[in-house]
Amino acid sequence: MNNNFQNDKFKKDKLKKIYFGVGVIVLLGMCFSLSYLITDWITKPKYENALEEKTVYNSTEVLEDNTTIALMIGDSIDKEQSLKDFKEENNIQVDVNQQFLIDFLDDSGYKLEALSDDRIVFSKENSDNTLIGGKYYLGEKDGYFAIYKTDENGKAFIESESDVFRDYKKVNTIPIAAEEEIKSFKHYYDSKEEALERLAGYMN
Give the residue, 107 or 154, on which the prediction is more confident.
154
Report how far residue 121's alpha carbon sits from residue 158's, in angstroms, rounded to the nearest whole number.
32
Task: Give the pLDDT score at 9.
Answer: 55
Task: Give the pLDDT score at 117.
Answer: 83
Task: Give the pLDDT score at 14.
Answer: 60
Exposure on the CB side of residue 198, measured as CA atoms within 13 A: 18
Express each pLDDT in 47-64 by its tens digit. 455 444 444 446 788 999
pTM, two decimals, is 0.45
Express each pLDDT in 82-130 by its tens digit. 999 999 988 899 999 999 999 999 877 889 999 888 999 999 876 555 6
Report how far residue 100's alpha carbon sits from residue 157's, in angstroms, rounded to the nearest whole number.
37
Express each pLDDT in 1-38 by its tens digit. 545 545 555 555 665 666 666 666 766 667 666 665 66
Give the residue, 124 or 148, on which the prediction is more confident.
148
Evaluate if residue 190 carries a pLDDT over 90.
Answer: yes
The total of other beta-carbon atoms located within 10 Å of residue 84's CB is: 14
Check if the beta carbon of residue 109 is closer than 8 Å to that of residue 180: yes
Report how far residue 101's alpha carbon sits from residue 61's, in angstroms, rounded to the nearest whole number.
12
Task: Name the β-bridge partners of 147.
Answer: 138
Check if the beta carbon of residue 130 is closer than 8 Å to that of residue 154: yes
Helix (H) or strand (E) holding 71: strand 68-73
Check if the beta carbon of residue 164 is closer than 8 Å to that of residue 142: yes
Which one-letter amino acid corresponds to residue 109? G
**Extents of the domains making up the chain:** 1-60, 68-124, 136-203
Write down the H helix ranges in 61-120.
Answer: 83-89, 98-106
